[in-house]
Structure 1
Amino acid sequence: MDRGTVGSASRGRLHVEIRHHGASAVVTVTGELDHHTADLLRESLEGCLDDGYARLVVDCSRLEFMDSTGLNVLLGARLRAEAEGGGVHLAGMQPVVARVFEITGAEAVFTVHDSVDTALSD
């Protein structure tokens, strides 16, 4: 059950949109995720977890850049989501973003999907 967009926010070069789909929160991230914009994603993910959505699907299909600060935000959300019985699923990563996960080995600790649809059907 998709309830449409339930929240969105922008900070500089980053836009975050949240919608609910059943027991999952789908967080679409657009733009550049770095030291200057990471707090926006952190606050959005924490808000979803605070609202009881322990299964987070992060739509990375419009994410153009991510540095280690962004990776740390996702790792922190993953730890909290798993502690609450859920997890963080990454969907639609562009090659430039996927490379950050490959280089750091972080791809091994996330469930990665080709698209949001496949993440939601998992």
Structure 2
Amino acid sequence: MDRQTVGSANRGRLRVEVRNDGASAVVTPVGELDHHTADLLREPLESCLDQGRSRLVVDCSQLQFCDSTGLNVLLGARLKAEAAGGGVHLAGMLPVVARVFEITGAEAVFTVHDSLESALAD
């Protein structure tokens, strides 16, 4: 399997790492995803899609906060990935982040996995 690190970015409260794992691009946001940090996640997601990686796995296990702006970034990536024949899989969400998806009903439009390992195995 190809597990090379593709890149990372950091802006204070959010760091995003990207790596390839087989057919998937694994995007790991670490910290707080909000209005001020959303572009740090949007840009690597769009870059993966531009490079032909339409199966995106977002490892949320280190995401401590997500507001509506962050949710919209993920929803936008989902639409683009599905248009390219892929999808966005969310893995390992902490309860505080999962609650945002529950309240908004967004969990119904994503494939949600308990762990990164199960997302990659799917």
Q: Using structure 1 for the length normalisation, give the TM-score.
A: 0.98
User: 1:11 Cα deviation (Å)?
Assistant: 1.2
Higher-strand-fraction structure:
1
> Offset at 1:22?
1.0
> What letter corresponds to residue 84 of structure 1 in structure 2?
A
Residue 111 (structure 1) aligned with residue 114 (structure 2): no
SS in 1 for 2:5: strand
1:84-105 deviation line (CA, Å, top 9, x unaligned): 0000000000000000000000
In structure 2, how many angstroms separate the alpha carbons of the residues matched to 1:28 and 1:117?
13
Matched residue pairs, number? 122
> How far has the Cα of 1:3 moved from its partner?
2.5
Partner of 1:92: 92
- Counterpart in the other structure of 2:17: 17
2:76 matched residue in structure 1: 76
5+ long unaligned stretches in structure 1: none
Counterpart of 2:120 in structure 1: which amino acid?
L
Q: Which amino acid aligns with 2:48?
A: C
Scaled by the length of structure 2, what TM-score is found? Answer: 0.98
Moved over 6 A (4+): none
| Percent pairwise identity | 81
What residue in structure 1 maps to residue 46 of structure 2? 46
SS of the aligned residue for 2:72 comes to helix
Cα distance in 2 for residues equivalent to 1:3 and 1:111: 22
Quick one: distance in 2 between partners of 1:16 and 1:120? 18
User: Cα distance, 1:12 vs. partner?
Assistant: 2.0
The structural deviation recorded for 1:6 is 1.4
Q: Which amino acid in structure 2 is aligned with residue 37 of structure 1? A: T
Residue 58 (str. 1) matches residue 58 (str. 2): yes
Unaligned runs of 5+ in 2: none
